[in-house]
Structure 1
């Protein structure tokens, strides 16, 4: 992979300002008042989080600092292009706004990113979606300040430049990626995650796991050909700074994940999972993710009947963390040969009892975690069969932005093998 004549020697690192700790969400009004001349703000959330009263309390904090706030609670869990367009139209009709505050999981944060993008720049959502599904248009104008307040420990969207959505017509999940989408401030309050039910905790935690593992096993930044400054993208490949965040995230997750799912009132486990999510977000937001996430997009986009516990039951869905995890064991078996020692180091970080091993070591550690936190036993358990593989492969191969980060070249046949081996994991 390395261009020996002109290899890359530069990596970049970006991150939002961060405020972390119990009670951090009680200071958002003050934080927003420090971001400049902010008079009106839109709080973006989903109906479930809105029912807790948290977004309204955040809005009331803003009022004490002279900021008029409106709450929009129409963000969809696992947002679609249609739900994002509805949010954008609402913001356009009620605006203009000087800032946005996202309160919720990755779905609310990603919806707020889309709203911010399309109320500050012209054009349609599809123009900004990553190619080949969209045009990959870059925003021409700066965005307004976005403060992200995650209520789940997992997505890392509060740290990243990426907005993820389902394109309904194509039955595929994809994204928009640009540095201007990154929130200016991430407010991570572990207390807000205490009400996550078990399956939400499990799925979100597996998203942390895949963020850290995929970034840690990603193609090294030095394996790319040298880029001009204007060509550099947020996903650099594995690099020394992202590695540190990912290693720390895996160590915390290995100790706290099972306890957080088993006992939602375990304050220490919840705190460690929130910290692991933050670390993993700071890692993958710069190194990038690869095959499990690329596979997860069509898995989520083509679901027919599956309805997971603890999520809205009005229509079928596969939660994001679940969708990326279901092929992760076999994906890491495939990538093992690119850097065996790095895969084994990751396995030891997740499970210190692991000693030496081979290509099955990391997949076995991931499978054990998945089984222990109540994940489905494979793609067949959520309604897929061998007859779906060709369509799933097509959806994966459309995610070239992600596949470019993989440590091995990936063919459609490789992806098909991973999907088939993931039908039954245990």
Structure 2
């Protein structure tokens, strides 16, 4: 009989849409799926879709299914909190039964918050943080046109608030969409940088959810929205790494490669499934101030930081084992050939292959700004609470210093 482990068997938590559909052509399911939630629909569309055949075909198919659709596409980049009030009013005026969202991560996040405000009212800042949404919101049907954010299956939406230095999140199981339809064909027109930065962010989602500290709560206690790695998210994160590690560089190099788009979209969806319950940690905590200071895309920042975060975390023996296991999936090699150091090198190699900058100095951050970045990151308590080791200011500064100079394992990364 095998020996019993010293640690108790880990519990498992998944929070997912009631329906998730994946594959080329699944957009054809949208009229039927949307109709399940009522006839009146607010269609929240990414502004770049306005006037395109795609949006015209979608609204036409919804109309033929007997749905009464109002389209709203005034979505502002970075989602300033105050801009969502008008959208929520549009949903109320239309007496919407559901919100259908099609676009990138900001559009899907906007739809979640519109669905929240339409039912529960504002101001939005009363919901900042975890588990502050009082009840169900309008059903959201989420259709991503990029492969990366995973917002179509997660319980969080992120906005910028002029009163705060950093982006803020609203996290609640009530924000999980009612349905997700992920059609890889919708990503075929994505620009190279969008493919690269959204895809590498998905890889970070998989890596951080797999290495996140497991939060064990007492029986009957209210669960936090993000519980750390668990028995149900672990295999999903590893599967996401397999798809993304092999195929993200191909999708960036060959944008019309249909199979690569399929694989990357599947990897991004699986990474969203994993982090939607497990959560993310240090890369994201550090990126929020870095993105604010440099004006660079979210995925660029999290991807740039990933090798440096892993390189620091592998100094902890227990975390090093998990990093090595993740690397075995990422490179599709036997566990006996994997190591934490090899995983760090593989992550840096993927960054080079897809065009993620190697250093913070290369994206305009100055050394004098590093202490401020560390201090702001320390305020991201939700993210830091599931870091695999207890984060300190000195540790964060160490990561930032490595990322600023490009030093991995004592050697220059690029």
The alignment's TM-score, normalised by the length of structure 1, stands at: 0.88
Tell me, yes or no, if the aligned pair for 1:39 and 1:67 is still in contact at 8 Å. Answer: yes
Say which of 130, 144, 165 aligns to 2:159.
165
2:393 & 2:84 partners in 1: Cα distance?
31
Q: Which residue in 2 is equivalent to 1:335?
A: 313
Alpha-carbon distance change, 8 to 234 in structure 1, aligned in 2, over 3 angstroms: farther
2:278 & 2:123 partners in 1: Cα distance?
28
How far residue 174 of structure 1 moved from its aligned partner, in angstroms, is 2.2
Q: Which residue in 1 is equivalent to 2:28?
A: 26
Structure 2 spans left out of the alignment, 5+ residues: 1-6, 407-413
Farther off after superposition, 6-15 or 346-355: 6-15
Say which of 342, 360, 377 aligns to 2:358.
377
Tell me, yes or no, if the aligned pair for 1:220 and 1:239 is still in contact at 8 Å. Answer: yes
Q: Which residue in 2 is equivalent to 1:400?
A: 381
Q: Which residue in 2 is equivalent to 1:228?
A: 220
2:77 & 2:219 partners in 1: Cα distance?
37
1:405 & 1:83 partners in 2: Cα distance?
31
Q: Secondary structure at the match of 2:99?
A: strand
How far residue 302 of structure 1 moved from its aligned partner, in angstroms, is 2.5
- The Cα RMSD (Å) is 2.1
2:293 & 2:10 partners in 1: Cα distance?
40
How far residue 141 of structure 1 moved from its aligned partner, in angstroms, is 3.5
1:56 & 1:129 partners in 2: Cα distance?
35
1:294 & 1:227 partners in 2: Cα distance?
29
Alpha-carbon distance change, 27 to 300 in structure 1, aligned in 2, over 3 angstroms: same
Matched ranges for 1:121-132 at <5 A: 121-130=120-129
The alignment's TM-score, normalised by the length of structure 2, stands at: 0.90
1:353 & 1:236 partners in 2: Cα distance?
29
Say which of 177, 183, 194 aligns to 2:188.
194
Alpha-carbon distance change, 56 to 125 in structure 1, aligned in 2, over 3 angstroms: farther
Q: Secondary structure at the match of 2:167?
A: strand
Tell me, yes or no, if the aligned pair for 2:13 and 2:230 is still in contact at 8 Å. Answer: no
User: Does residue 320 in structure 1 map to residue 302 in structure 2?
Assistant: no
Farther off after superposition, 51-60 or 186-195: 51-60
Alpha-carbon distance change, 9 to 344 in structure 1, aligned in 2, over 3 angstroms: closer
1:227 & 1:125 partners in 2: Cα distance?
32
Q: Which residue in 1 is equivalent to 2:45?
A: 45
How far residue 275 of structure 1 moved from its aligned partner, in angstroms, is 0.7
Tell me, yes or no, if the aligned pair for 2:327 and 2:338 is still in contact at 8 Å. Answer: no
**Residue-by-residue CA offset, 1:190-226 (whole Å, 9 max, x unaligned):** 11010011100000111110010001111124xx342
Q: Which residue in 2 is equivalent to 1:301?
A: 292
Q: Secondary structure at the match of 1:297?
A: helix
2:338 & 2:135 partners in 1: Cα distance?
51
User: Does residue 96 in structure 1 map to residue 95 in structure 2?
Assistant: yes
Alpha-carbon distance change, 85 to 362 in structure 1, aligned in 2, over 3 angstroms: farther
How far residue 86 of structure 1 moved from its aligned partner, in angstroms, is 4.4
